[in-house]
Amino acid sequence: MKKMLFALLFCSSGAALANSACDIPKNDFDGLYCLNKVYQEADKELNDNYKKLNLKLDSDGKRNLKSAQLSWIEERNNSCSKREANAFYVNLDCATSTTIKRSQFLQDRIRECSSSGCQNSKLEWQ
């Protein structure tokens, strides 16, 4: 029992240290780790919103949403990353803010579908 309690305390203190490390990253790799955590959460929320909205749409709406999402992904990739001969780079700040904006757009469409009905024309990518 004491070993289990010690293991739980050790694990929970490690998690606290990891979270506090994101308050003030000590180096670029810590910063990258923290930025990636934020991006992963934004991406998860985006995917959840996409699924929720998709469930509310008719077949034309689903087709519009998928097409718009693929166009958005292409634009995000072009805006937030670049590829060179032996490397590729991703600007996680750009990817995160772009993903959050898209997720908010999808949330707005979900609210719209619930209140006044889904408008397929608003799903198209500009």
pLDDT (tens digit per residue) in 21-67: 688 888 888 888 999 999 999 999 999 999 999 999 999 999 999 99
For 64, other C-beta atoms within 10 Å of its C-beta total 19
Q: Where are the alpha helices (DSSP H) in 57-125?
A: 59-80, 92-115
Cα(2)–Cα(47) distance, rounded to whole angstroms? 41
Confidence label for 20 from pLDDT (cuts 50, 70 and 90): low
- pLDDT single digits (tens) 94-117: 999 999 999 999 999 999 999 999
